[in-house]
Amino acid sequence: MNGQFQIATHVLTLLCKQPGELLSSDYVAGSMNVNPVLVRKEMRKLRACGLIESKEGKAGGYCLALSPKNVTLADVYKAVKLPPALGQAKNKPNPDCPVGRQINAHLDHLADDVEAAIIKKLSTITIFDFVNQFD
Amino acid sequence: MNGQFQIATHVLTLLCKQPGELLSSDYVAGSMNVNPVLVRKEMRKLRACGLIESKEGKAGGYCLALSPKNVTLADVYKAVKLPPALGQAKNKPNPDCPVGRQINAHLDHLADDVEAAIIKKLSTITIFDFVNQFD
DNA sequence: ACAAACTGTAACATATTTAATTACAATTAA
DNA sequence: TTAATTGTAATTAAATATGTTACAGTTTGT
C-alpha cells in the first residue's frame, strides 16, 4: 500500500485551513497518525515542485507557497510521483516473438495515455475545491 | 512493481493473433519471459470475468471467449484488479482533528472518480484495436 | 552565548506486496 | 497407461513502503 498522495493531500488541507501559520511535521503527523519523518519526506517533494515553503529552526514548519485556487490535485499527483496506474512490468519479452518484440512500446504508449487521463481528471480539482468539501 | 495488467494484455494479444488455437501457459510464458504459474494466475482472473476459456489436460490451453472487438482494455483492467491508482493509505487519521475526521471519505470519493476516469479511457480501446497496432 | 525546537536527511528495521519456484492432484488426449 | 497440461497451494526471494532512531544544521528566544 502506498499512501504518499494521501499524506500530501492531508498536509495541504491542513495548511489551507490554517493560512499564514507554520505547521510542524509533528503537528501534521499527529492529525494523520503517521511518522513525522514520512511527512517531511513528502514535504520535500512538494517543496521541490514549489507547492509549499518550509522554514527551519525553532518555530519553523510548513506553509502553502501558492494560492489554493491555483494548485490542482494534478500538481500533487505529479509531485509525489506514484508508480504508474497500470503497473510496471519488469520482464524482458522474448525478442524472437513478433508480439514480445513490440509489446513494450505499445504498453508504454498506453500507460502514457492513462497517466494523461488521470492528470486531466485531477487537474479539474483545486486544493481549494477539495478543502471546500469539508464542514 | 506490478506487471499483472501487462501479463494479461500480452496473453490476450497472443490469443488474438492465433485464433482458434489453444495456447499453453508454457508457450505464453516463453513469449514474455515470466513464470508459467504467474500466467495461469492471471488467466484465472480473466476466465472468472468470462474473457477467456481454458481446457485442461494434454493439448489443453487457453483461448478467447469473446470477439476481440467486444472486449476493451477496461474489461482487462477490472479483471486483474490492480491496487488503486492514487494508492491506499493505511493510517487511521486522528478523529479529534476536524480534517482527520473527514478526510478519508473525501479521499475515497476522489479515488473512485480517478478509477472511473481510467476505466473511461480504457473502455475506448478494444483488444482488437490494441492488437491492430502490431506489424 | 546558549538552550530549545524545529527541518533535513541518512541509516536501519519491519511489514507488505509481488514474482519466482517447487510440488502435486486432477484432467485429457493419444 | 503415459504424457502433457491446467489448477492451485506453499515456500522463497526480491522489491517497496513505512516506522524508527539518530543527528547535523538552522533559527528563535532568553
Task: Note down pLDDT in tens along chain B; length 135 residues.
Answer: 899 999 999 999 999 999 999 999 999 999 999 999 999 999 999 999 999 999 999 999 999 999 999 999 999 999 999 999 999 999 999 999 999 999 999 999 999 999 999 999 999 999 999 999 999
**How far, rounded to the nearest angstrom, does the alpha carbon of residue A68 sit from its chain's CA centroid?**
15
Spatial CB neighbours of A56, under 8 Å, sequence gap ≥ 6: none
- For chains A and B, count residue pairs whose Cβ atoms are closer than 8 Å: 155
Q: Which nucleotide is nearest to B44 (CA to C1')?
A: D7
Spatial CB neighbours of A129, under 8 Å, sequence gap ≥ 6: none
Q: Evaluate if residue A96 carries a pLDDT over 90.
A: yes
Quote the CA–CA distance of A49 and A46 in Å, as a whole number.
5
**CB-count burial class (<10 Å; 0-12, 13-18, 19+) for B64:** buried
**CB-count burial class (<10 Å; 0-12, 13-18, 19+) for A1:** exposed
Spatial CB neighbours of B123, under 8 Å, sequence gap ≥ 6: B72, B73, B74
Collapsed DSSP state (helix, strand, coil) of residue B40: helix
Looking at strand C, which nucleotides approach a protein CB closer than 7 A?
3-11, 16-23, 26-30
Q: Which residues 106-135 on A are within 7 A of strand C at the CB atom?
A: none
Q: What is the mean pLDDT of residues A87-104?
A: 95
Asked if the Cβ–Cβ distance from B86 to A77 is below 8 Å, we say yes
Q: Evaluate if residue A73 carries a pLDDT over 90.
A: yes
Q: What is the pLDDT of residue A1?
A: 79
Spatial CB neighbours of A13, under 8 Å, sequence gap ≥ 6: A127, A130, A131, A134, B99, B103
Q: Which nucleotide is nearest to A42 (CA to C1')?
A: C8
Quote the CA–CA distance of B66 and B49 in Å, as a whole number.
11
Cell numbers linked to B127: 483488444
Quote the CA–CA distance of B118 and B74 in Å, as a whole number.
8
Q: Which of A67, A77, A60, A69 is nearest to A9 (CA)?
A: A77
Strand pairing partners for B52? B64
Nearest Cα residue in chain A from B96: A31
Strand pairing partners for B61? B55
Q: Evaluate if residue A84 carries a pLDDT over 90.
A: yes
Kindly calculate the radius of gyration of chain B based on its CA atoms and give it in whole angstroms. Answer: 18
Q: Could you tell me which residue, A89 or A1, shows the higher pLDDT?
A: A89
Give A73's DSSP letter: H
Q: What is the pLDDT of residue B1?
A: 82
CA distance B51 to chain A (A): 19
Query: How does pLDDT run across A9-58, given as a tens digit for each residue?
Result: 999 999 999 999 999 999 999 999 999 999 999 999 999 999 999 999 99
Q: Which residues 55-94 on B are within 7 A of strand D at the CB atom?
A: 55-62, 87, 89-91
Does this model's pTM top 0.85? My answer is: yes
Q: What is the pLDDT of residue B11?
A: 98
